[in-house]
C-alpha cells in the first residue's frame, strides 16, 4: 500500500487480508548481532505496554533477508510538530495543555512499568488523525528497563531534547524523560527551542550549561504554563516534576478530564489562537536537522569539541 522511510528502515502501510484491518509494518535491517539484541529489547518493551496514548505492537517476526518486521498500530495524523505547524491548524494554549497532558499520562504509565523512554522528541509523538489533538507516543528503540536502583548511563538520543545528565554521561532516572517534556512544552508555547545552537556542538554545550530564559513570546502565555515549564527544565534533576506531579499541576489538572475524552480531543481546542509564525519557521528548519540526529553522542566526545563556561 503506502511506504515511508524511517530512522532505521522503512515503514509500510499494510492490510490484513482476512479482516481488512490496516497496520504499520516497520521493517528493520539487521546489520550485526548487536542490532538483533536492540530490536528484541524494543519488542519486549512494546509487548509489555498497553495504553491508549502509546502505539501498540501486534506482532514481530524475522524474515529470510536478515530483517525484522514490527507490526504496529497505524497512526495517520503525522508528527506532532508537523501538524501544529500546518497552516490550517489553530494553535491555542489549551491545545498545548491537551497534548502535554496526554504525553504525561503515557510517560506516567511507562514509568510505572519500570521503563524509561529516553528519546522523547517531536518525531516520536504522533497525531492520531488530521483533526483535533489526540496523540500517541512511539519508538521505544532507546528505551531501557529501570527499577530505580540500578546504575544507568546512556549517551544517545537527540541533543536538543536530551537532559544534561545524558550529555554528561551521568546517572539517569525517571526525571530524565521529564526534562524532554519541558523542552517540548517550551517550543509548543513559543516556537523557540531553549537549547538549540547554530550547530550540534553548540547545542551540546547549551544543554550542558543548562541556562535558559523565557522569550518575549511568553508574554502572552499564562503564568501557570510558565510555572509548569519552570518545574521541568531544571538542571538539578531531583527538583524536576515527575509525571504524577505534572498531572496534578494546576495548568494540567483543570483540563485533565477533557484530555481523557477522545471525542473532545478530535475537535479543535478552545481559546484564543496563538501566533505560530515562529513555530512554522522552527519546524521548517527542524526538518533539515533530522539527518544529524541519529549520530551517537559519543562521536562528539572524541576530541571534536569542548564546552567552556
The CATH classification of domain 80-301, taken from the options 2.40.40.20, 3.30.70.2610, 1.10.510.10, 1.10.3720.10? 1.10.510.10
Work out the angle at residue 274's Cα, subtended by the Cα atoms of residues 268 and 279, and round it to the nearest 5 degrees: 100
pLDDT at 8: 56
Where, residue-wise, is CATH 3.30.200.20 in the chain? 2-72
Q: How many CB atoms lie within 10 A of CB 132?
A: 20
Distance (Å, whole) CA 92 – CA 298: 39
Is 219 a catalytic site residue? no
pLDDT at 33: 80
Q: Packing angle between helix 223-230 and helix 93-112, nearest 10 degrees?
A: 30
Say how many Å lie between the first and final Cα of the chain, rounded: 53
Q: What is the mean pLDDT of each run of 10 residues along the chain (309 residues)?
A: 58 93 93 87 96 97 93 94 93 96 98 98 94 93 93 90 96 98 98 95 96 96 98 98 98 90 79 92 84 49 46
What are the residues whose beta carbons fall under 8 Å from the beta carbon of 202, sequence distance 6 or more? none
How does 94-115 read in b/e, with b if 16+ C-beta sit within 10 Å?
bbbbbbbbbbbbbbbbbbeeeb
Find the catalytic residue in 35, 59, 119, 219: 119
DSSP letters of 258-307?
Answer: HHT-HHHHTSPPPSPBPP-HHHHHHHHHHHHHGGGTTS-GGGGGSSS---
pLDDT at 176: 98
Cell 484564543 maps to which residue?
272
Give the H/E segment covering residue 205: helix 200-209
Where, residue-wise, is CATH 1.10.510.10 in the chain? 80-301
3-state secondary structure of 33: helix
pLDDT at 275: 92
pLDDT at 4: 55
Distance (Å, whole) CA 167 – CA 154: 9
pLDDT at 309: 47
DSSP 8-state secondary structure symbol assigned to residue 86? S
pLDDT at 196: 96
Q: pTM value?
A: 0.90
pLDDT at 304: 43
CATH topology of domain 2-72: Phosphorylase Kinase; domain 1 (3.30.200)
Beta bridge partners of 62: 68
pLDDT at 2: 52
DSSP 8-state secondary structure symbol assigned to residue 105? H
Amino acid at each position: 500500500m503506502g511506504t515511508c522511510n524511517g530512522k532505521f528502515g522503512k515503514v509500510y502501510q499494510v492490510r490484513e487480508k482476512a479482516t481488512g484491518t490496516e497496520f504499520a509494518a516497520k521493517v528493520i535491517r539487521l546489520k550485526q548481532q548487536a542490532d538483533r539484541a536492540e530490536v528484541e529489547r524494543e519488542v519486549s518493551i512494546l509487548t509489555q505496554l498497553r495504553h491508549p496514548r502509546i502505539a501498540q505492537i501486534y506482532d514481530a517476526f524475522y524474515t529470510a533477508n536478515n530483517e525484522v518486521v514490527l507490526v504496529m498500530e497505524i497512526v495517520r495524523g503525522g508528527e506532532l510538530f508537523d501538524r501544529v505547524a500546518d497552516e490550517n491548524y489553530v494553535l491555542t494554549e489549551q491545545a498545548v495543555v491537551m497534548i502535554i497532558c496526554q504525553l504525561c499520562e503515557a510517560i506516567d504509565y511507562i514509568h510505572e512499568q519500570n521503563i524509561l523512554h529516553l528519546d522523547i522528541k517531536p518525531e516520536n509523538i504522533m497525531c492520531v488523525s488530521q483533526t483535533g489533538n489526540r496523540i500517541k507516543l512511539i519508538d521505544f528503540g532507546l528505551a531501557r528497563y529501570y527499577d530505580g536502583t540500578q546504575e544507568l548511563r546512556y549517551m544517545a538520543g537527540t541533543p536538543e531534547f536530551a537532559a544534561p545528565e545524558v550529555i554528561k554521561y551521568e546517572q539517569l532516572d525517571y526525571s530524565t524523560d521529564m526534562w524532554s517534556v519541558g523542552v517540548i512544552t517550551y517550543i509548543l508555547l513559543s516556537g523557540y527551542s531553549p537549547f538549540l545552537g547554530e550547530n550540534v556542538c553548540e547545542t551540546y554545550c547549551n544543554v550542558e550549561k543548562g541556562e535558559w530564559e523565557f522569550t518575549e513570546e511568553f508574554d502572552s502565555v499564562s503564568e501557570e504554563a510558565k510555572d509548569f515549564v519552570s518545574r521541568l527544565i531544571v538542571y538539578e534533576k531531583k527538583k524536576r516534576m515527575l509525571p504524577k506531579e505534572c498531572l496534578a499541576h494546576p495548568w494540567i489538572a483543570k483540563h485533565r478530564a477533557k484530555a481523557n475524552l477522545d471525542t473532545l480531543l478530535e475537535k479543535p481546542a478552545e481559546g484564543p489562537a496563538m501566533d505560530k509564525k515562529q513555530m512554522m519557521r522552527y519546524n521548517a528548519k527542524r526538518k533539515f536537522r533530522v539527518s544529524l540526529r541519529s549520530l551517537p553522542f559519543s562521536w562528539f566526545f572524541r576530541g571534536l569539541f569542548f564546552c567552556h563556561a
